[in-house]
Chain A
Amino acid sequence: MPVLRWLRRHLIVIAGLLTLAYMILPNIVVMVFSFNKPNGRFNYSWQRFSLDAWKDPCGVADMCGSLSLSLQIAVWATVGATVLGTMIAFALVRYRFRARGAINSLIFLPMAMPEVVMAASLLTLFLNMGAQLGFWTILIAHIMFCLSFVVTAVKARVMSMDPRLEEAARDLYAGPVQTFVRVTLPIAAPGIAAGALLAFALSFDDFIITNFNAGSTVTFPMFVWGSAQRGTPVQINVIGTAMFIIAVLVVLAGQLIANRRKNNARP
């Protein structure tokens, strides 16, 4: 049976593509339903085609406010976690010192703990301190859980870096600052960028930790969560589709730049 033989030979490719379809399917549904004109509060079944939601993406009360709040928090959390995480990563890779093991575990633990546990324990701290829940408590929490991921991303890059490049720079009379800015930082940049991107995505998308520590402040994921009970506006699908398209463009652009660099580097 030629068909069966063909199937056997391409089994992995077929299985892989099926998984890919499984991963993309919800995004396609989100996209399609952004053009729906729902009948009633819930946008779960197809009614008829309409561009209403795309014409007026901010037409839902509080949605775009929550979106801009989430963006602000994500930006500041990214900045905070990237700066602190990069410093830790450099210290861990470049220096030998006491307490290294303990620090490695402290970095690893937040990633090895279910989010609810961290969320609930942070809330007990804030309650005990009598802190006002809101923007600042969310930001503190986000920097906390993004930190480990940034450290891991930057560490991987710095570890694969050839230390002789820096020695060479020093041999050529570059000062420590010059060496760092002209040699170390550019080489570490992809790792730092990856860490920052990850931090941004994690913070922007976080629901569980935010849900515990936000008080009455509403971020975008919390708005979506609330709307799942009250009735989901079509505009949520518009935002979801826009995010997907922007993400694809950003990642593709990043890869194009990386490819061009690689091609230019070739003699």
Chain B
Amino acid sequence: MRLIQLLKKELAHEAREWVDESIITHEQGQAILAKYGESLDNDANKTSFGYYLLMALGSLFIGLALILIISHNWDEIPSLVKTGVLILLTATTNLIGLRLYLTNRYQAANIWVFFGAISYGASIMLIAQIYHLGEHYPDGIYWWALGVLPLVLLTRSRLLSLLMLALATIWLCVEVGEAFFPSSYPVFLLSALFLALYCRSTPTIFVFSLFALLVWLNLALAWLMGSGIHYEPFGDLLPFSLALGLVFNGLAWALMRTSNPTWREYGLVLHLWLLRVSVVTLLILSFEGIWHEYSSESDMSLVLSIAALITGGVISWSLSARNSRYASMPAVLFSLCFSICFIAQAYFSSGDMIAAVTINFLLLVLGISLIRRGIEQDETQYFYTGVVALLATAFVRYFDLIGDYLGGALLFLIAASIMMLAARYWRLRGQTELGGRTDEA
């Protein structure tokens, strides 16, 4: 899977020029773009998309103005009139949307239904204001998101889907802030995932939903540890999250193998985000102090977390083994290194240092592997990520020494040796392959 998948719009633009300049035929242009789920004719929608976006933002601003106007005229308008106007506005905007769908004006219909969804939410909040409802206020946001959900599934509108996800996520935050558990949050995420996978191309929604699911699972585990009545975050949330990250990595590679261009794009976007997140996570875990503060709650939860890490690694490996060694090897390596870290930290007196050193070497291996992958596959993204990972490791280790000055110097020397040996091995292998090819020729 090449990064060009993410530049398919630019590729389509270039291909149109190649066709215009008769460098390639129209059929060839179509055949090239079809590989990436694009077409020579898609550009016609560009202007209407701009119109669509501005109209949608306009609807949002009208919705915000609506809340402010009615809030301002608090005393002047009778309660019943205010409530009636709000319900009537919600009904009217939605019915206009329905009528536009029935007359095949889909973009305008989407805008009106979106405006209807804003009116609906504003109505919930304002009715609560009018009648001084002091009940658990996140419920208002929840009912807003829930009311938008069927419209998302029916209209398959990305705009409504983003609104629903934003509302559901705000609800998650305020619900957690009020010390309650947002048990039905995955319903919104799964609906958004359904839309992304089966109805519309929306990589942002796809990746957001998966990362949000990871956050929710962490909250669920903390809630369960608090006997299901309060949150009790515990140390072993970290290995469980890392295990899920490994599974997501396998999923990304599996998606990149599919024949569906949209799913391939999703896989690539997910893979790139996981790569960035993993570099940052490893850099954080590379500090000895982090491991010193980390503590596992009990032997049983440690065993379960190690089991989760190994299971995550195996699932990731089995999902990615058919792609290439660049895909499957990190799964095994990460799973193994993380397991070593958590076991060492729990059972050895110098466990903090063992864990920090292990993560530092994992960073080195990741950096070297990314540089090599970048050069072999002609992908600058991987090459520079690898360089950044190695430079960042050197930078943070220079200021935060593991095992004092001599320990730090030793770490740098070992790291330098590994990199030089990797470079030497790479060069020798390249010469062997070149020789082999020459012989064959």
Q: Do A and B bind each other?
A: no
Point out residues on B near A: beta carbons under 8 Å: none
Point out residues on A near B: beta carbons under 8 Å: none
